[in-house]
Amino acid sequence: MNKRRIDILIVGNYQVGKSSYIQDLNPIDNSNPPTIKVDTTIGEVFVRLHKCISNIPVDAAIIIYDATNEYSFICHEKWYKMIKDIYGDISIILVANKCDLDHKSFYTGQINELIKMYGLGVYNISSKESHMTMFPIRSSIRRVFNDWNIDIIDFRG
Residue 85's pLDDT is 92
- Kind of pairing between the strands at 43-50 and 35-40: antiparallel
What's the pTM? Answer: 0.83
Helix, strand, coil percent values for the chain (each to nearest 5): 30, 30, 40
> What's the chain's average pLDDT?
80
- In the chain the domains, ranked by start, together with CATH numbers, are 3-154 (3.40.50.300)
Handedness of CA 35, 39, 41, 43 (dihedral sign): positive
pLDDT mean over 40-63: 87
Give the Cα separation of 157 and 141 in Å (integer). Answer: 17
Give the Cα separation of 2 and 96 in Å (integer). Answer: 32
pLDDT mean over 53-68: 87
pLDDT mean over 124-134: 72
